Structure 1
Amino acid sequence: MVTVKEMSEVRPEKRQVAWQALEFYGFIHFGMNTMTDREWGAGDEPLSLFNPESLDCHQWVKSLKKSGMKGIILTCKHHDGFCLWPSETTKYTVANTPWKEGNGDIVKEFSIACQSEGLKFGIYLSPWDRNAASYGTGPSYDDLYVAQLTELLTNYGDVFEVWFDGANGEAQGKQQRYQWARYFSCVRQLQPNAVMAICGPDVRWIGNEAGETRPNEWSVVPKSLTFAERTIEKSQKTEDGIFGQATSSDMDLGSREVLENTNESLIWYPAEVNTSIRPGWFYHAHEDDQVKSSEELFSIYKKSVGGNATFLLNVPPMKKGLISPVDQKVLTELGKKIDKLSDTTLLCSATIRVNEFIQEEETYRYVENHHDSKNPAEITISWSAEEEVSGLILQEDITQGQQVEGYEILVNQQEKEHCVYKGQLIGAKKILTFPKMMTNKLTIRITKVRGNYTIKGLNVISEG
């Protein structure tokens, strides 16, 4: 049985804290599948098909940056085995295509574009390779895969995230059992500041690809969750055209009640929410009228980034090598909506008072038993006249672990105080909303904690 003290003492690594601070970043699916108008290639598509005549990685990066993204992950190799860089491990690369007469390197152009725009650069390298003759032979394929990882992690600058897909199907009638520990060791050695996601030990998958989130997304969870997406029997092996659905019973992965009943050790394993701006992950012209609206994406953003997770949004370039104007428009609209959340006008015009907290500039630190009073810790935000409010943004200092387990928001109206919101976790960021109302006072009351904590971020929002 795990004690509350043990839950309270779990801490993130520095790389996890830096990663979570990015909050929102992109995915670029581009490759041979873009040319063939497919989602999954068979690995035998002619190299002569790949010739994106207008490819412009700077246009990709600038388009995604307008949405508020802080980094982008590139699918350097998908399941078909086609490499977007001139790898020395295979002939199935851009070096043997008509594009730039075989002298191009999309990974290089993309990493340079990210650097020039101040965005972080990440890589996706599918361990399933339907082109490699060595796939399914054991160590010889692992040698090839680690060699590809090494090329990507040493030739293109700093990498913030390595996205490990768990898909594991057959190629040439054979199936490979991935040497995950060897892959992880390679990343740690070459890019120690990078997090490894999904099948990796640093960041876990939310459990679906539709942008759905749990009501409470805990970062402190049982260690066995690190193996959830590596199970070969449960891995994706066919292209079914349907986004995955949450697989765990598991709507609650880390509450006190769940953790008290586990015999496992606990780890810091935060969640990433991933989805695509379109029904597919690669570009298909017939989906131009099915692009998610900025309102839908903003809702996913608030539930993911505002629910102690990060948001990874895929935006696939067109066959000619540019981001679609339809997608660009939505991304720009989304960026404006996200930007509005950082408007501190309401907070700056308010008076803030604290009870049971130690106020340190703009942070509020609570030390258990610091006072004799048994009153709950409270932060009160008040105005001289009524203001229209519809929500709050709260941030916990996660370097001190995940401590808050219960809180409520009280609003004063007509000299009476009533509760408009009850929540459990705060974590890295909580964006909470309630119906618009006029009030001259809001109170944040912390009702349940695991240990000492600091509220390091606070804002009042009014969505118009």
Structure 2
Amino acid sequence: MKLLTSIAALFLALPALAQSLPTFAGIPTVDLAADTARRVVVDREDAQYLGHPTTALLRDGRTILCVYPKGHGKGAIQLKRSTDAGLTWSERLPTPASWETSLETPTIHRLIDPRTGRERLVLFSGLYPIRRAYSDDNGAHWSELEPVGEWGGIVAMASVVTLFDSRAAAFFHDDGRFLHASGKADGVFRLMMSTSDDGGLTWAEPREIWSGSDINLCEPGAIRSPDGKTLALLLRENKRAKPSHIMFTSDEGATWSTPRELSPALTGDRHVARYAPDGRLVVTFRDMGAYMGRDNQRQNPTMGDWIVWVGTWTDLVRATPGQYRVRLADNKHPWDSTYPGLEMLADGTFVATTYGHWDQGRPPYIISERFTMRELDELASKAGAVMAPAPVGALPSASQLAWHDMEFYGFIHFTTNTFTDKEWGYGDESPTIFAPTALDTRQWARVARDAGMNGLILTAKHHDGFCLWPSAFTEHSVKASPYKDGKGDVVGEFAAACRAEGLKVGLYLSPWDRNHAEYARPAYVEYYRNQWRELISNYGPLFELWQDGANGGDGFYGGKRESRQIDRTNYYDWPSTNKSLMEQSPGVIIFSDAGPGCRWVGNESGFSDEESWQTINAGGMYPGVSHDHLARGDKGGSHWIGVEVDVSIRPGWFYHASEDTRVKTPAQLVDIWYASVGRGANLLLNLPPDRRGLINEKDVESLRGMRAILDATFSKNLAADGAARASEIRNGNDRFAAANVLDHDPGTAWSTSDGVTSGSIEVSLAKEETFNVVRVSEAIALGQRVESFEIEAWVDGAWRSVFKGTTIGPRRIVRFPAVTSDRVRLSIRAALGPPVINELGVFFGPG
């Protein structure tokens, strides 16, 4: 971590190395070719061509694998590993013998086997036939290359995505030569799609999704829309007569739109796209824009170079130029470079890897470049790019932005308490009582997924000290229970089930342990840290680590049966403990009363404050130490620590049969959702499994009812086909037009000019509608700004106020008595800086 910090500081200290190049396609280009301080050589060999790399970032968030051929396209596949997020690289690693026989550019992908939830690395080598190798241990050991079928293609499985049904979908192209054993070039280019339902071990016969001879489209690069509903392929045009193209599917690849041209700013080869933490798109590719028309090479000084384009999903849809471009490195060859890998680290740093002729007169070799959006934005602003307002106050990290996007996830309370009918165990419970009769973690995950949750957090160890995994540090665990004859691992089963159902995994580990003999003594702190280390290592990546505030009191304590108290401020040395956890699990969100990732709302009733700042003055805050303004936070607070609302679907946190008639109703759950998610907090709803090891049918029924109400409300945005106008647009530039609040793209926003801290957006609906819900959100990557706002509807020839509120933040979803109108107005009355609003939706909810 210290090295990463020093590298970042070095980057910021060298802005003078960046230069501006002439604009191309209407947007500026920043030149970083001279800034070699951000460059790392991955592999280089005298008199040897090394090129065409692809990369895979492993689940620990810092290990990157890189594969590439020793030769131009074909040649023995080389493998290297970085364990420090690309700062240094291993020597070439041993590979299976069959990798020496590769005939084409290899690709590598991380896939999840939906049958088991286990992660797998899969490598492909193309032409005829396409072959694959795989590793089930993060690349330590690999299989030989084996054919996936009697079919082939070029740049095999160039891009792979996960479909809604958990299958993997792979895309590649062919020109007639390799699809079949006896193939011949016929002037027709074909785009192919194949799917796998077992984590990449086997693949279906590929299906042609486009073919043509007038244009030659190839090398598909896949990217999903921000809302996940649409999949796009960025495509090279191989005749070099037209710009690159794009095609879309909104039914998971069953049907595709006719390919159409992208902006010339994206003309090039082998596009690889990733979303930045703030929702913008970053695309890296080989710039071939000067070929278009073959008469404008002087207009594009980066022809053949390694380029990064920064824009939005909306730019892809509208074929607009984007925000700016960056030349990462100067290729000394007219075109031979840039089959890139692009990975984003948990802190928002991008690591881009590719090959090129970087030294005059020498064969190509492989390098990587590191950059952050903040660095690029500062340089692009100097080059004349139109930029958003300057950030205001404390800002969320990249991982905090991703956490806010999760909105709604579940809590699983399950341990010996389930079988003793208690809420808190004393610590003397025998492990033999933990005996679920039908435990099914996949059922938990399916229930959560169907309810609209995006993750689950499991109580790996509650206050009683019983561990749901076979910990190496205690016998007070499932090892000593009858569950699976002591060979069970509930945490492992839980993590695999979540991943199989597309949910993120979080874990709760109680700092208080009423079983452990050393609790309240220094030795216990090391025990606690060791258990977190074990959980992170065995079951990561984890999106959230949950640290309860309950600490100290009476307990078993190894048979002493006494009361023990701790100094809650100093006992755990939270700064050191949390620092270690974040180093072990980059990007993880740590929950406690004090954060540092997210904070407790201050109640267990299911609501946040109407005024809620995600910023808070964190000095003097520690887990377990009461603070009476946790929900409200502090305007302009020193730290960004988002609010999490935790509440149970039942009166208790653990299952009690006596509470079967007291499960919260769908209407109550919807009220909680509006009072938490609707006020900018994340909602953590507890779903306690019963003694069978299943989420009870009554809970499931209530969740289904809640989901039905929310789906009925939000399935149709009544403003989607409307038109928006604003009282003022930032510098009069359409990149900040009012229409951006309607495009479902978090990378775009309406904003005002510097010094203008109030304003309004008026949306004209396509027709008169009845509505009673409005959703609005700020672009919080730039800070939380809005202090007060008002929503109005045009009724009987005048504006009628329907809601007045204070903060907006990550989102504000408000209900009010139904009104019928064809115009809605959002007015920002006060803000800490120019407002930056990226969403405005209008809905009608039943009831």
TM-score higher than 0.5 here? yes
Match of 1:73 among 451, 454, 457: 457
Tell me if the contact between 1:149 and 1:186 (Cα under 8 Å) persists in the aligned partners: no
Match of 2:633 in 1: 253
Q: Which amino acid aligns with 2:813?
A: I
Q: Does 1:319 align with 2:691?
A: yes
Residue 213, structure 1, aligned to residue 598, structure 2: no
Partner of 2:825: 443
Task: For residue 346 of structure 1, give the secondary structure of its aligned residue in structure 2.
Answer: coil
Aligned residue for 1:204, secondary structure, equals strand
Query: What is the TM-score normalised by the length of structure 1?
Result: 0.89
In structure 2, the residue matched to 1:57 is 441
* Identity fraction in percent: 38
Amino acid at match of 2:407: E
Q: What aligned pairs does 1:257-406 form with structure 2 within 5 A after superposition?
A: 266-357=638-729, 358-359=736-737, 361=740, 362=743, 363-369=748-754, 376-383=758-765, 385-406=767-788
The answer to whether the Cα contact below 8 Å between 1:7 and 1:266 also exists between their aligned partners in 2 is no
Matched, 1:430 2:819: no
Report the AA paired with residue 826 of structure 2.
Answer: I
Alpha-carbon distance in structure 2 between the residues aligned to 1:148 and 1:182: 15
- The aligned residue for residue 495 of structure 2 is 111
Query: Unmatched 5+ residue regions in structure 2?
Result: 1-388, 730-735
Q: Per the alignment, do residues 105 and 422 of structure 1 end up closer, same or farther by CA in structure 2, a change over 3 Å counting?
A: same
Q: Find the residue that maps to 2:763 and give its secondary structure.
A: strand
| Paired residues of 1:66 and 1:332 also in contact (CA < 8 A) | yes
How far 1:434 sits from its partner (Å)? Answer: 1.4
Q: Does 1:11 align with 2:380?
A: no
Give yes or no for contact 2:598–2:641 (8 Å, CA) kept in 1: yes
Q: Kindly indicate whether the alpha-carbon contact (under 8 Å) linking 2:608 and 2:631 is maintained by their aligned counterparts in 1.
A: no
CA contact (8 A) 2:615 2:638 kept: yes
**SS of corresponding position for 1:321:** coil
Greater gyration radius? 2
Does the CA contact (< 8 Å) of 2:390 and 2:782 recur in 1?
no
Contact 2:761–2:825 (Cα < 8 Å) also in 1: yes
String of CA shifts for 1:99-154, please: whole Å, max 9, x gaps. Answer: 1000000000000000000000000000110111111222x111111110011001
What SS is found at the alignment partner of 2:639? strand
Report deviation, 1:420: 1.6
Q: Is the 8 A contact 1:197 1:203 kept in 2?
A: yes
How far the C-alpha of 1:384 sits from its partner, in A, is: 5.5
Verify the 8 A CA contact 2:651 2:662 in the aligned structure 1.
Answer: yes
Cα distance in 2 between the residues matched to 1:345 and 1:155: 42
Contact 1:201-1:226 at 8 Å conserved across structures? no
| Pairing 1:216-235 to 2, within 5 Å after superposition | 216-224=611-619, 226-227=621-622, 229-231=623-625
Give the match for residue 239 of structure 1: none
Deviation at 1:179, TM superposition (A): 2.6
One-letter amino acid of the counterpart of residue 309, structure 1? A
Q: What is the one-letter code of the residue matched to 1:221?
A: I
Amino acid at match of 2:797: E
Distance 1:225 1:271 in 2: 18
TM-score by length of 2: 0.49
Instruction: Tell whether the 8 Å contact from 2:757 to 2:830 is kept in structure 1 after alignment.
Output: no
Deviation of the 1:47 alpha carbon: 1.6
What SS class does the counterpart of residue 80 from structure 1 fall into?
coil
Q: Which runs of 5+ in 1 are unaligned?
A: 235-246, 260-264
Offset of residue 6 of structure 1: 11
1:179 aligns with 2:604: no
Q: In the alignment, what sits opposite 2:538? A: 155
Cα–Cα, structure 1 residues 248 and 376, in superposed 2: closer, same or farther, change >3 Å?
A: closer
Match of 2:797 in 1: 415
Q: CA deviation at 1:364?
A: 3.3
1:438 deviates by 1.0
Q: Secondary structure at the match of 1:104?
A: coil
Call closer, same or farther: CA 1:369–1:399 in 2, change over 3 Å.
closer
SS in 2 for 1:162: strand
Counterpart residue number, 1:243? none
- The residue identity in structure 1 corresponding to 2:543 is F
Structure 1 counterpart of 2:592, which letter?
I
Cα displacement (A) at 1:158: 0.8
In structure 1, C-alpha distance between the alignment counterparts of 2:660 and 2:806, rounded to whole Å: 39
Are the structure 2 counterparts of residues 354 and 367 from structure 1 closer, same or farther at C-alpha, using a change threshold of 3 Å?
A: closer
Check the 8 A contact 2:608/2:675 in 1, yes or no.
Answer: yes
Match of 2:586 in 1: 192
Can you list the C-alpha shifts for 1:16-69, whole angstroms capped at 9, x where unaligned?
A: 111110000000000100011111111111121111121000011111211110
Change (3 A) 1:251 1:456: closer
Give, in angstroms, the shift of residue 269 of structure 1: 1.4
The alpha-carbon deviation at position 192 of structure 1 amounts to 1.3
Which amino acid letter does the alignment assign opposite residue 582 of structure 2? R
SS of 2:671's equivalent in the other structure is: helix
Give me the CA root mean square deviation. Answer: 2.1
Q: What is the CA–CA distance in structure 1 between the aligned matches of 2:766 and 2:583, rounded to whole Å?
A: 57
* CA spacing shift, 1:272–1:288, aligned 2, 3 Å: same
1:130 — aligned with what?
Answer: 514
Distance across 2 between alignment mates of 1:201 and 1:131: 28
Distance 2:494 2:630 in 1: 37
- Alpha-carbon deviation of 1:223? 1.8
Q: Is the 1:63–1:328 Cα contact (8 Å) retained in structure 2?
A: yes
Write out aligned runs for 1:86-101 (5 A).
86-101=470-485
CA deviation after TM superposition for structure 1 residue 181, in Å: 2.3
Cα distance in 1, alignment partners of residues 390 and 834 from structure 2: 13
Native 8 Å contact 2:504 2:542 kept in 1: yes
Alignment check: 8 A CA contact 2:794 2:800 kept: yes
Deviations along 1:186-218, one digit per CA (max 9) or x if unpaired, are 211111111001243111110011113211111
Counterpart-to-counterpart distance in 2, 1:392 and 1:31: 41
2:749–2:779 contact (8 Å) kept in structure 1: no
- Listed one character per residue, the Cα deviations across residues 259-291 of structure 1 (whole Å, up to 9, x for unaligned) are 6xxxxx711111101100000000000000000
Using the TM superposition, give the Cα deviation of residue 308 of structure 1 relative to its aligned residue in structure 2, in angstroms. Answer: 1.1
Partner of 2:467 in structure 1? 83
Match of 2:409 among 6, 18, 25: 25
Task: Give the match for residue 177 of structure 2.
Answer: none
Following superposition, the deviation at residue 225 of structure 1 comes to 6.6
Letter in 2 for 1:365: W
Residues in 2 aligned to 1:369 and 1:36: alpha-carbon distance in whole angstroms = 61
Cα distance in 1 between the residues matched to 2:788 and 2:750? 16
Pick the structure with more helix per residue.
1
Contact kept, 8 Å, 2:723 with 2:765, in 1: the verdict is yes
Tell me, in whole angstroms, the C-alpha distance in 1 between the residues paired with 2:479 and 2:624: 32
CA–CA distance in 1 between the matches of 2:640 and 2:406? Answer: 17
